[in-house]
Structure 1
């Protein structure tokens, strides 16, 4: 049992003490075992001690345990949010997948806690455990969750919004021509096809993986960019099948029956469960295999792990080469100019296709 308090301290909150000699009050932080001077004002000292006790004392965990029976937990609210809110956002699949990952991490860390009793410290500690980019993504998800919770009266304030955004300055270096060639030499044929297409048509990973043979019509390859296809007509690309592009398309045709230009025969049947077609390649798998080929090639020994360029950086190499060749890099990338008027409206079945000619000479990468 705890030792009885002295008569001079009996009327004071726990951890607050009065010194008859100095006529001052002191507060004992029982967690860090430190004393703090609370001055001569009795009422001010009592009020401060009460606030600190509520925040620091172990019995707050007991309160939280009781309150959990009377309020939603964060995990319960996340489940509700995913069922009712996310569908209304009409997000792309890649974005939904990112939300799913972040929500799972949040639920694992704080999911069992009552929604309206989650503290700023708990959120900050969670975010501090991630890299700057992952921290900012998780923070954005938490802010959106708490915005909806506050709007429904389930939380008093948005504690996530009070955290600070981390500096997420890009650290990845650019590829060198020698580096890309070395990676390509250590890549399986389907990955070589992906690299060659990335160099030639300057598209994002998701758009490369969505290229289909039935998108080739009347001498053109039709590409609707996933990221911006419903926002700007620049993302609807009609690519002329130049000799250079035809060469890569021919590379993609093999004895594996697939609707996708970039494809592979799956190693296991269970790989096919979440795919549109068994031969389809996911973005995660593409990035993982690219990393394996890059690490095997050992082409960037001077780079740190965070500086290592991935497949996405090949797009930058391609656009730079188009620019240096005096060609319209912005057009082939599908980037809209500031003065461009949107010709495509949601719900319409037409778009103004932007015709481009992918005629870059990539032989310095592909020729042995």
Structure 2
């Protein structure tokens, strides 16, 4: 016999849990004998308790369902569906997909053997509590999206991840000082010096610095499409005027190694796997740049009094650049590719013309480069 559809007040609640509008409280109806139990006014506690009770009362139902031909879907199986059907149309960046893959492995391990509708708020909260605030918030956001799609397919009555709370992230990393970055640059190899200089001049992220190409320099401009914000903002499509300051850095990037990329290096030993995955054998991977910058920072010993968690990395060169632009009385918004609130998408399928945001990278970085 098919149960009656739930009314509007109870539609988002687990089975057997009901909202009493007169008292603004929740109550649970025991499915074995119909006896009622008051659960109080706390919605999250009531939902969590109801789900755990439902799980107890239906223990073994997954085996029965398998025999009857209507087994509930496993969470691991639905994650496979989510990765196959939901993510590809979004055309996410490779770095984002790699991060998701790490989180998916964590989810599969923590919820191993669970059906989608067996996962409770408490189960998710316990997993998130064991993580750092930043990682916990990333996992929470991803789980909310996963359960939204599961609920839309009728695989669970509500979204348990949405009932958890975001953690407060306290930024620990400090900003670079001019003296500190100068000391790091002096200990860096030539290719890393070029990367630092480009980050100072253009205020771009690590991935965009490493994607800058010599053939992107044409008609007096260096053209760049920011990977992170290309789908969200006009400001992601930037052409930098080749000022004397920028030209000096570009000229330093040219050496005796033939490469299409401004920041490049000749690897000590070329691995076959790297040759297959890279666009060009001289292209530098993001993780390699991060490690090389850390090595140079440790060699410079410029922030000796700071804790490890406070140490600024290559990404913080961007923050120093914007600070120096502001200090020099220049507008860093266009340089960084920060969109104003009123800006809309620039490039979508079917558009033949791209409107480039023009920036003038004219910061004097001689105080750092010498």
- Same fold by TM-score, threshold 0.5 exceeded? yes
2:19 corresponding residue in structure 1: none
Post-superposition offset of 1:269: 2.6
Residue in 2 aligned with 1:291?
Answer: 294
Does the 8 Å CA contact 2:62/2:72 hold for their aligned counterparts?
Answer: no
Change in Cα spacing, 1:122 to 1:64, as seen in structure 2 (3 Å) is: farther
Residue matched to 1:180 = 181
What is the alpha-carbon distance in structure 2 between the residues aligned to residue 153 and residue 248 of structure 1? 57
Determine helix, strand or coil for the equivalent of 1:237.
Answer: strand
Matching residue of 1:131: 132
Cα shift at 1:234? 2.3
Give the corresponding residue for 1:361: 364
Match of 1:7 in 2: none
- Tell me which moved more, 292-301 or 323-332: 292-301
Cα distance, 1:340 vs. partner? 4.7
Q: Aligned partners of 1:315 and 1:119: how far apart in 2?
A: 41
Runs of 4+ off more than 6 Å: 51-54, 58-62
Task: Find the partner of 1:347 among 321, 346, 350.
Answer: 350
Q: How does 1:210-221 map to 2 (within 5 A)?
A: 210-221=211-222
Greater shift in the superposed pair: 59-68 or 189-198: 59-68
Q: How do 1:215-364 residues align onto structure 2 when only pairs under 5 Å count?
A: 215-266=216-267, 267=269, 268-340=271-343, 344-364=347-367
Distance 1:60 1:185, change over 3 A: farther
Q: Deviations over 1:328-355 (max 9, x none)?
A: 2112112222345665554313222222
Q: Map Cα deviations across residues 155-194 of structure 1 (whole Å, 9 max, x no partner).
A: 2221111111100132221110111112212222221111
Partner of 2:88: 87
* Stretches of structure 2 lacking an aligned partner (at least 5 in a row): 1-34, 40-47
8 Å CA contact 2:51–2:120 kept in 1: the answer is no
Question: Whole-Å Cα distance in 2 between the matches of residues 53 and 88 of structure 1?
Answer: 36
Q: CA 1:338–1:163 in structure 2 vs 1: closer, same or farther (change >3 Å)?
A: closer
Gaps of 5+ in 1: 1-42
Distance in 2, matches of 1:86 and 1:342, equals 21
- Could you list the per-position Cα deviations for residues 77-108 of structure 1 after superposition, in whole angstroms to 9, with x for gaps in the alignment? 11111111111223233322222222222123
The answer to whether residue 103 in structure 2 is matched with residue 102 in structure 1 is: yes
Q: Partners of 1:236 and 1:260 in 2: how far apart?
A: 19
> 1: CA distance between counterparts of 2:103 and 2:235?
31
Q: Number of matched residues?
A: 320
TM-score (norm: length of structure 2): 0.78
Superposition deviation, residue 61 in structure 1: 11
| Higher Rg | 1
| Rounded Cα–Cα distance in structure 1 between residues aligned with 2:156 and 2:285 | 38
* Contact in 1 for aligned 2:214/2:260 (Cα 8 Å): yes
For residues 138 and 67 of structure 1, the distance between their equivalents in structure 2, rounded to whole angstroms, comes to 32
Q: Residues 124 and 160 of structure 2 are in contact (CA less than 8 Å); yes or no, is this contact kept in structure 1?
A: yes
